């Protein structure tokens, strides 16, 4: 019986923003909304916060934040703090990084895994992120990380193009050729106050992408933490588990109990890429 890994990160693996609620971008699907729910720290407080978290039994954290004018999450400005955390605690670090370059390898070597949002279509990048980047720029980041032996877990957000599903298949094809062991599939949440607040994503079309990824990708396939809530999530999660995903984040309790009837279930209190 294939084991299903269930991840519940919020309890012992918090998301931390190093930029507060600031982001230089105002993306169509986010509009800085998701920064609001993260813990906020400064350079002076990050190490103390992590020492405190280890004493309280936390397993690690996601270091994230908004992008700056360089289109990076400015974790390079925290490189000394990150090194101290890894040298003096047992905490694991997952990181959102943005468009890093080779100079960032100096501190990236202390990160356990990089979570990289990946978009496989130039026009979607322009429409949603409103930045002057292409698919090749994403591939440069992937090349830098994988060639340096840094573990990277790409994330595809199904329906990111204002609910339309098309580019996701090409993204799966591209990423399947890379030396990655976990591929994360998210689904767009129509978030109030954003340009996409009234967008609807077809569950059946989203599941077709999950099915395609399962056929194409040889590593572990994960359903990430971003997808609609309520009945939508309940039905989607069940069908994704039947398709054969290896990992799933924050499934409804009903789905968890249902999954135990047909799969061995292991529960982890950390990010699904760990």
Rounded distance, CA 183 to CA 93, Å? 18
Non-local (6+) Cβ contacts of 90 within 8 A are 54
Rounded distance, CA 98 to CA 224, Å? 18
CATH number of 12-222: 3.20.20.70
- Farthest-apart Cα atoms in the chain, separation: 49
Tell me the pLDDT tens digit for each residue of 226-254: 999 999 999 999 999 999 999 999 999 99
Q: Is residue 136 packed enough to be buried (19+ CB in 10 Å), middle (13-18) or exposed (0-12)?
A: exposed
Q: Is the pLDDT of residue 185 over 70?
A: yes
Average pLDDT for 168-189: 98
Helix (H, G, I), strand (E, B) or coil at 250: coil
Rounded distance, CA 156 to CA 120, Å? 9
Rounded distance, CA 219 to CA 222, Å? 10
Tell me the pLDDT tens digit for each residue of 252-274: 999 999 999 999 999 999 999 99
The predicted pLDDT at position 42 comes to: 87
Tell me the pLDDT tens digit for each residue of 50-74: 999 999 999 999 999 999 999 999 9
Look up residue 240 and give its two tokens: 């994704």
Q: Is the pLDDT of residue 43 over 90?
A: no
Rounded distance, CA 78 to CA 46, Å? 9
Cβ(206)–Cβ(271) under 8 Å?
no
CA-to-CA separations, 89 to 10, 47, 74, in angstroms, rounded: 20, 10, 22
């Amino acid at each position: 019986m294939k084991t299903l890994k269930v991840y519940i990160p919020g309890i012992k693996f918090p998301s931390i923003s190093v930029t507060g609620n600031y982001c230089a971008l105002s993306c169509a699907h986010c509009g800085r909304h998701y920064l609001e729910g993260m813990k906020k720290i400064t350079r002076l407080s990050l190490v103390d916060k992590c020492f405190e978290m280890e004493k309280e039994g936390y397993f690690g954290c996601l270091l994230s934040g908004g992008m700056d004018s360089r289109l990076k999450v400015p974790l390079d400005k925290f490189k000394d703090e990150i090194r101290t955390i890894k040298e003096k605690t047992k905490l694991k670090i997952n990181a959102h990084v943005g468009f890093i370059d080779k100079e960032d390898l100096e501190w990236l070597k202390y990160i356990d895994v990089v979570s990289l949002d990946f978009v496989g279509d130039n026009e979607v990048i322009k429409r949603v992120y409103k930045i002057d980047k292409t698919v090749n720029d994403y591939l440069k980041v992937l090349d830098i990380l994988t060639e340096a032996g840094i573990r990277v877990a790409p994330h595809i957000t199904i329906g990111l193009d204002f609910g339309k599903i098309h580019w996701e298949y090409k993204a799966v094809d591209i990423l399947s050729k890379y030396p990655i062991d976990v591929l994360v599939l998210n689904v767009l949440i129509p978030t109030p106050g954003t340009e996409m607040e009234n967008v609807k994503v077809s569950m059946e079309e989203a599941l077709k992408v999950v099915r395609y990824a399962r056929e194409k990708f040889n590593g572990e396939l994960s359903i990430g933490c971003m997808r609609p809530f309520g009945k939508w999530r309940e039905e989607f999660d069940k069908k994704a588990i039947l398709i054969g995903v290896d990992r799933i984040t924050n499934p409804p309790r009903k789905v968890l109990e249902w999954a135990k009837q047909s799969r061995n279930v292991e529960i982890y209190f950390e990010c699904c890429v760990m």
